[in-house]
A = this chain, B = another copy of it.
């Protein structure tokens, strides 16, 4: 399969590499930044361009992995193509591709957090699919199934819901790790201390419901400990606000 990758960010890099690992031929990487296009193309043995007018139109698959608000602009340059055109966004409807008179199009949304600095086992990435027709969906299922066994069919509306839930479970969670590290570092304490706790918390909900395994002062309504904690945070009103907001939500859930 001959693939053109439009985009060069975290998602584009990991997905293009996954396609290449499964034997696809990466023809070309387009990015607004020629430097970024060249960096990714170099790793994939592909050509690089920053000119949408020069995108190779002979590929079998076009992977659009750019910022949500740039998808429409990139898709316009693929107008009328006969190949399969996919976007990879959790938050964007399939309709953004509908208008371009494409013959086969769809969504391949990888429900994972990608960072360039961290390699990833793609066989553990859930892939959420949507397609213009049952025929395209079958084609897309074959392609997705070669990348990961975790394949789900999701409508655009459901995909948006999953995307919001993922912001809570991943983006906000990582930020809480960062705040934990910040609190420790401010007192010259080592983030190593927290790492087993972070991992165990995530591992626990693989086998148990998060509702059932909630721990901490808020779920016990231990007012004295919560007051002591807020006292320790009194120089950081931003952390106090987060502490109060989340403790209130935990108490509302359990009490």
Interface residues of A (CB under 8 A from B): 10, 67-69, 91, 111-115, 117-118, 120, 124-126, 128, 150, 152, 154, 158, 160-181, 183-184, 187, 189, 191, 193-220, 222, 224-225, 228-229, 232-233, 238-239, 241-243, 245-246, 249-250, 252-253
Given A195-B206, A198-B205, 13 other A-B residues pairs in contact with their CB atoms under 8 A: A68-B222, A91-B217, A91-B229, A111-B196, A117-B212, A117-B213, A162-B189, A164-B232, A169-B201, A175-B210, A175-B253, A176-B246, A178-B214
Contacts of A228 in B (CB 8 A): 91, 160
> Assuming the A-B contacts A111-B193, A242-B246, are A165 and B150 also in contact, with contact meaning beta carbons closer than 8 angstroms in the complex?
no
A252 to chain B minimum Cβ distance, whole angstroms, is 7
Please pick, from B150, B206, B209, B242, the residue contacting A249 in the complex, using a CB distance under 8 A: B242
Number of this chain's copies in the complex: 2
Complex Cα–Cα for A248 and B217 (A): 25
Tell me whether B208 and A117 are in contact (CB under 8 A).
yes
A186 to chain B minimum Cβ distance, whole angstroms, is 8
Tell me whether A173 and B176 are in contact (CB under 8 A).
yes
> Assuming the A-B contacts A172-B246, A224-B68, are A166 and B180 also in contact, with contact meaning beta carbons closer than 8 angstroms in the complex?
yes
> Assuming the A-B contacts A204-B113, A208-B115, are A169 and B162 also in contact, with contact meaning beta carbons closer than 8 angstroms in the complex?
no
Tell me whether A165 and B183 are in contact (CB under 8 A).
yes
Tell me whether A180 and B168 are in contact (CB under 8 A).
yes
Tell me whether A170 and B242 are in contact (CB under 8 A).
no
Centre residue among A150, A201, A216 by max chain B CB count within 10 A? A201
Closest B residue to A187 by beta carbon equals B161
Complex Cα–Cα for A91 and B53 (A): 62
> Assuming the A-B contacts A167-B217, A213-B113, are A177 and B193 also in contact, with contact meaning beta carbons closer than 8 angstroms in the complex?
no
Complex Cα–Cα for A134 and B150 (A): 54
Contacts of A91 in B (CB 8 A): 217, 225, 228-229
Tell me whether B115 and A212 are in contact (CB under 8 A).
yes
Contacts of A180 in B (CB 8 A): 165-166, 168-169
